[in-house]
Amino acid sequence: MPPVAAVAPVLVLEHATKSFGPVRALEDGSIELYPGEVHALVGENGAGKSTLVKILAGVYQLTSGRLLVDGAAVALGNPAAARQAGIAVIYQEPTLFPDLTVAENVFMGRHPLRSGRRVDIRAMREQVARVFEGLGVRLEPARLARGLSVADQQIVEIAKALSLEARVIVMDEPTAALSAYEVDRLFRVVERLRASGAAVLFISHRLEEVFAICQRVTVMRDGRQVLARLLEGLGPDDLVKAMVGRDIVLRGEETRRAGGDVVLSVERLAREGVFADISLQVRAGEIVALAGLVGAGRSEVARAVFGIDRYDAGSVVLHGRPLPKGSPTAAMGAGVGLVPEDRRQLGLVMPFSIEGNVALASLARLRRRGLVRRRAERAFAADWAVRLQMKFGRLSDPVATLSGGNQQKVVLAKWLSRRPALLIVDEPTRGIDVRTKAEVHRLLIELASEGVAVLMISSELPEVMHLADRVLVMREGRMVAEMDRREVSEETIVAAATGQLQRLGA
């Protein structure tokens, strides 16, 4: 662990509160950021992390409490004021101008000028190139921002922060959408920022990342700071305990009977330019993980199996019967369920109520003489809400009012209530908090032990290691490895996913 500077904090937030009408989003937000340190901010969803970040970004104004920069109290009335105070926020998904070059994006609004108020393009590109060099990344300043990966866009934002001479850099879950390789590169950049004396606030749900790059940690729970200290001497379990306020068991039971009849059998499935020669089997009672980098074609395979997308060659067989192409309705009829990756766009109808969403895939069962029975619908939804321990006001509330984890439970309820023979889950715990994540894991294990075949796409290796009976690895649209639970390790998965492993016998 790098040495920690013993100096005064550059930014201090003291007993900050933030209310929205009667709702208190932040009860007691406190944090101290030191130069030359990477500071982790962790907490469950709803703990107040986002509110705190928005206060630092100048988006929200404090209801009470105070904010000191270099020991002097400041009021950040808007994002421009925050920028002026030397605070830069790198969001998970930056919004660049796609039709401008990387350099122009970095200098947006304050381009260097030469005579006649013309933009000095060369000076601009040289400066940006120097910044990139300092960060140790290769990125062409003259290329258009369009088509940059999320990881590269974040680098551009960081360059922008540096050119603004920001001393506090806030990163709000920067790694959520990055592949393992991109995370590594981001960490090297963060390390350079730290070494150059910047104070970095790093927010992540992934505790292994926190321990990899941070020196200090603040844990929040229910809008309050509950732990703030150097990371040294702490372990993941300590943080989890502080986050949830009690001990929780992160690992499920290890013993599970796997290997019933083959439920899903995919033979040489191919879709032009997306994936090719994909064969896999999932048996009843088995959890099969589909691992690989973001963009390896895993979600696309899931979509083809479920019938959202058509495929050009191969076959999908369920319980020995071929499934017609391109028909989710037929797939559902045959007992397939798909919990998509993007729950807001694909999993839920946001304006609908909780019960409306839960029942949406089961309306045929809730009908009598063609009419949907509201009472049956509510009872149906209430049953699943209790089983999955959802937290909500009323079942008739719009699903949009729920937290991310509870929204995911609604999507799960929608599919579990159909009693699927095969459940495909795509990134089932992305962006949800530790406690709900553990519940979802337990649920998937329960399902498998009840004989459901589960095909899980996940980019989180601990999740894969924890749940999967078998691991299939995809790379660039092809299946590159199949591993048994006994032979699987994080290293072999990463090696296969990044192409550093010889093709194993499948």
Partner 1 sequence: MAGDAPRTAVAADADATETAALEAPDPGPGPTWRGSRRYLRWESGLALALVGTVLLGVGLSGQFLTSTNILNLGLSNGEVAIMTLPMMMVVIAGEIDLSIQSTLALSSSVVGYLWLHHWSMPLIIVTVLVLGALLGLINGLLVTRLGLPSLAVTIGTLTLYAGVAEIVLGATIVSNFPAAYTSIGVNAVPGTGLSYSAVIFVVLAVVTGVVMHATAFGRSVFAIGANADAALYTGIRVKRVKTTLFVVSGLVGAMAGVLFTFRLSTAEYGNGNGLVLSVVAIVLLGGVNIFGGRGTVAGVFLAVLVFSILQNALLLTNFPQSASGIVTGGLLLVAILVPNAGDLLRRGRRLVRRMPGGWS
Q: Which of residues 39-78 bind partner 1 (CB under 8 A)?
A: 45-51, 77-78
Give the nearer residue to partner 1 in terms of CB position, either 339 or 488.
Answer: 339
Give the nearer residue to partner 1 in terms of CB position, either 12 or 432.
Answer: 432
For partner 1, the binding residues in 321-340 under the rule CB under 8 A are 328-329, 331-332, 338, 340
Give the nearer residue to partner 1 in terms of CB position, either 25 or 193.
Answer: 25
How many residues form the binding site for partner 1 (CB under 8 A)? Answer: 78
Choosing from 104, 157, 182, 427, the residue that interacts with partner 1 (CB under 8 A) is: 427
Nearest one of 297, 289, 244 to 272, comparing CA atoms: 297
**Minimum distance, C-beta of residue 451 to partner 1, in the bound complex (Å):** 22
Give the nearer residue to partner 1 in terms of CB position, either 125 or 437.
Answer: 437
For partner 1, the binding residues in 21-40 under the rule CB under 8 A are 21, 23-25
Give the nearer residue to partner 1 in terms of CB position, either 234 or 274.
Answer: 274
What separation in angstroms does the CA of 259 have from each of 291, 317, 320, 457?
A: 20, 17, 16, 19
Q: How far apart are CA 241 and CA 12, in angstroms?
A: 25
Give the list of residues 6+ apart from residue 182 with CB closer than 8 angstroms, or none. 149, 151
Q: How far apart are CA 332 and CA 422, in angstroms?
A: 10
**Minimum distance, C-beta of residue 240 to partner 1, in the bound complex (Å):** 17
**Minimum distance, C-beta of residue 94 to partner 1, in the bound complex (Å):** 9
Q: How many CA atoms lie within 13 A of 463 on its CB side?
A: 28
**Minimum distance, C-beta of residue 197 to partner 1, in the bound complex (Å):** 27
Does 91 bind partner 1 (CB under 8 A)? Our answer is yes
Q: How far apart are CA 240 and CA 147, in angstroms?
A: 37
Residues in the chain: 506
Choosing from 6, 72, 109, 320, the residue that interacts with partner 1 (CB under 8 A) is: 109
DSSP state of 388: T
For partner 1, the binding residues in 430-469 under the rule CB under 8 A are 430-432
Cβ(177)–Cβ(199) below 8 Å? no
Letter for the amino acid at 377? E
DSSP state of 286: -
Does 404 bind partner 1 (CB under 8 A)? Our answer is yes
Give the nearer residue to partner 1 in terms of CB position, either 371 or 386.
Answer: 371
**Minimum distance, C-beta of residue 230 to partner 1, in the bound complex (Å):** 25
- E strands, 340-412, are 367-368, 371-372
Give the nearer residue to partner 1 in terms of CB position, either 211 or 352.
Answer: 352
Q: How far apart are CA 373 and CA 226, in angstroms?
A: 47
Q: How far apart are CA 391 and CA 429, in angstroms?
A: 17
* Six-digit token string for 131: 């910044």
Give the nearer residue to partner 1 in terms of CB position, either 216 or 378.
Answer: 378
* Six-digit token string for 6: 């013993």
Choosing from 104, 152, 157, 173, the residue that interacts with partner 1 (CB under 8 A) is: 173
Cβ neighbour number for residue 424 with a 10 Å cutoff = 28
Give the nearer residue to partner 1 in terms of CB position, either 424 or 448.
Answer: 424
For partner 1, the binding residues in 235-274 under the rule CB under 8 A are none
DSSP state of 100: S
Does 407 bind partner 1 (CB under 8 A)? Our answer is yes
Does 150 bind partner 1 (CB under 8 A)? Our answer is yes
For partner 1, the binding residues in 188-207 under the rule CB under 8 A are 205
For partner 1, the binding residues in 213-242 under the rule CB under 8 A are none
Query: Which DSSP string do the residues of 422-476 spell out, in sequence order?
Result: EEEEESTTTT--HHHHHHHHHHHHHHHHTT-EEEEE-S-HHHHHHH-SEEEEEET
* Six-digit token string for 485: 């639970």
Choosing from 299, 301, 425, 448, the residue that interacts with partner 1 (CB under 8 A) is: 299
Q: Which stretch binds partner 1 (CB under 8 A): 128-136, 303-311, 317-325, 495-503?
A: 303-311
Write phi, then psi, for 390 (nearest 5 degrees).
-70, 150
Q: How many CA atoms lie within 13 A of 44 on its CB side?
A: 22
Tracing tokens 């982790």 back to the chain, one arrives at 40
**Minimum distance, C-beta of residue 437 to partner 1, in the bound complex (Å):** 11
For partner 1, the binding residues in 355-384 under the rule CB under 8 A are 356, 360-361, 363-364, 367, 370-372
**Minimum distance, C-beta of residue 175 to partner 1, in the bound complex (Å):** 10
Nearest one of 214, 222, 194, 189 to 44, comparing CA atoms: 222
Q: Which stretch binds partner 1 (CB under 8 A): 169-177, 207-215, 228-236, 485-493?
A: 169-177
